[in-house]
A and B are shown apart, each in its own frame.
Chain A
């Protein structure tokens, strides 16, 4: 009996203590130093088809940098699923990389933590000046009126990718330019196990990107000027409903897409099960799934009417990756040199070509490679009809709450439950209430 009791006590103690526990190391003051000027640690985000591919792409460039400056860069490619948590842990403990990539939508949230070096005039001058970068890309690097918390590295925008053969088979000669056309074309395609449009219904970030652009077209922002959430405005409700209705009412998205969260819609597209996807730089994924470049076409994301432009004809968020310097770096000068290297014209051309993205550096954009049809659509969208996601400190809460609401509505639509203006508004009201902390 004593052993049973002892075993019970041990099991109990370990099971109970696993419950609470939230904290981290100590923190340290702001500003970097130059204590170790010969090394840098760089956390790169996963941009290529795999982590290994990224290492292969980046390592020769880092060697080049080492040759130029004598600074050795230790590279770690961090998967997207872990990157934000790793940055948060680094912020809390003060132990992090010197230079890191961040998703540009996190810029304002991370800016609020004070973990990243602000890019004021002096710091921008050290990398060749703020004017070298496209304005909309810099605007997605931090809250308005504050020094950006990062520098744009790769820019992306949404485009409509369509399967040329499926369009031809359905007797459609050109990609849709308006949503009405998309629905009409979609109904022609969606039959016999084939579907018109793909979606990632359980992917919170993707949901946000889609409803943000639709929201702009309905004249809605998800935050007001003071940074307060306005998720339940008529425009926001209409935007979310429009997106869900592609599945619920128009029946041009397969119900199964409601549970997609790992780019399964791209696989469906590559297999010829789905004719269109709204995506950022999908070309390399399609190629890796066995498609040939002539199999698909790229067009701007549809708008309510007319052609993409500003105001209610915006059709994409400014997507992209920014490069930031961690405030606790022990090699601040080296870190800035590395950012300068990564945003140099030559590296911008090379890396953006490899990743299929658009350089946020104006001079690099002039390379003819970025005028090829695929990239040109992305480039034109960024230049004329894209806006950054709300640059507010609680952007990540917005992605979670509204993204989850959209996911839940997709689940309703997939299960055949009615999706009405009221049910959409109720879901968004709940999301907004959860922001009020």
Chain B
């Protein structure tokens, strides 16, 4: 979308303005110098986004941090400005891993880590495999691409509710296939309660996220010059060697962004567990987002819930910073 304006075309445009619009301009605001106009325009265009970002994200975030230092329970929600100052009490309770509340938070954190690693890892693997397989032109490729993208296009709620039906113990499709048809299990399994709920959660999350990985990687693959593959194959490189030495290194910049974004989305995923399990997720699938929701909205202790949110934010900031530091260092090294 870059527009290259040559000096002559710019001059011409200026001439036209002078002759056609000169009379009208006299009544307009005094002309803003080009230097400022050109320098200020990007900021002016950014302004609506910045204002909305402040309103929608940053101000609630700051309020959230403020709340985390208050003892904001149901007794004060009506007049929350008057809630007593709690200092670091909410934080102390949240990270006291010997006490029940801290223990539950730690457990939830670990479950979320395991869930994120599995979901992001598998999403990337599925995405990259499908993208590579669909790189060659063959009959039906566009149909397959469209089908693969369907989960990404479906509204999350509708999709996850459908999964919840499929995971039902008595009438669900999953048990029908695994137990009734294939006989893989001794008896119908429970997917929405107990330990299997973790598997159900990973499956739904994977189903939901991998098309995004697929889409990004497919776009990135288009940018790899065909000549490279041709040259490699003339030199006798096999398919695996080509993937290892051409495809994967070329995908690196996209992978860096993709993995980070998938990580953040998955770690914070609220919709999937909420729609699958309702307000109280089974212990094995107690993701941190739903745990924090319970700690604030269900038990009405917003100070405690906010403190947990802030801790989560700090953790994600830290991970992101370390990730960006490591990957950018690697990139600089490779650029040299």
Binding site for B on A (CB under 8 A): 1, 4, 7-8, 11-24, 26-27, 29, 85, 88, 91-92, 94, 109, 112-115, 201-202, 204, 254-256, 258-259, 261, 327, 393-394, 396-397, 400-401, 403-404, 407-408, 410-412, 414-415, 430, 433-434, 436-437
Contact = CB atoms under 8 A, between A and B. Distances in A.
B95 to A, nearest CB: 14
Contact of A20 (B65, B104, B278, B302): B65
B193 A407 contact: yes
Contacts of A4: 253-254, 256-257
Contact of A23 (B67, B300, B312): B67
Nearest to A258: B193
Main secondary structure of the interface of A (DSSP, over half): helix
B60 to A, nearest CB: 4
Contacts, number: 168
Q: Which one of B61, B99, B265, B302 has the greatest number of beta carbons of chain A within 10 Å?
A: B61
Given A15-B265, A434-B100, A434-B101, 20 more contacts: A12-B260, A14-B57, A16-B264, A20-B306, A21-B63, A22-B64, A22-B302, A23-B67, A27-B79, A109-B300, A113-B78, A114-B78, A256-B170, A259-B192, A327-B78, A393-B75, A400-B279, A400-B298, A414-B194, A437-B301
B74 A393 contact: yes
Contacts of A404: 280
Given A15-B268, A19-B313, A113-B74, A407 B280 contact: yes
A289 B130 CA distance: 46
A41 to B, nearest CB: 18
A179 to B, nearest CB: 25
Nearest to B82: A27
B228 interface: no
B101 A20 contact: no
Interface in B300-314: 300-302, 304-306, 309-310, 312-313
Give 8 closest A-B pairs by Cβ, nearest first.
A23-B63, A15-B264, A17-B57, A433-B100, A21-B60, A411-B193, A256-B170, A22-B64
Nearest to B254: A4
A88 B190 contact: no
A157 to B, nearest CB: 25
B169 A16 contact: no
B237 interface: no
A271 to B, nearest CB: 11
Interface in B101-153: 101, 104
A261 B200 CA distance: 18
A16 B267 CA distance: 10
A182 to B, nearest CB: 23
B204 interface: no
A403 B168 CA distance: 21
Contacts of A26: 81
Interface in B247-296: 253-254, 256-257, 260-261, 264-265, 268, 278-280, 282-283, 294, 296
A84 to B, nearest CB: 9
B74 A112 contact: yes
B221 interface: no
B325 interface: no
Contact of A12 (B57, B75, B261, B280): B261
A16 B75 contact: no
A3 to B, nearest CB: 10
Interface in B57-83: 57-58, 60-61, 63-67, 74-75, 77-81
Contact of A430 (B100, B253, B254): B100
A273 B335 CA distance: 69
Contacts of B77: 88, 91-92, 113
Interface in B219-261: 253-254, 256-257, 260-261
Given A259-B192, A434-B104, A408 B79 contact: no
B64 A23 contact: yes
Contact of B300 (A17, A255, A396, A411): A396
B178 interface: no
Contact of A259 (B193, B257, B309): B193
Contacts of A434: 100-101, 104
A89 B169 CA distance: 36
A397 B300 CA distance: 8
Contacts of A437: 93, 101, 299, 301, 304
A397 B299 contact: yes
B169 A256 contact: yes
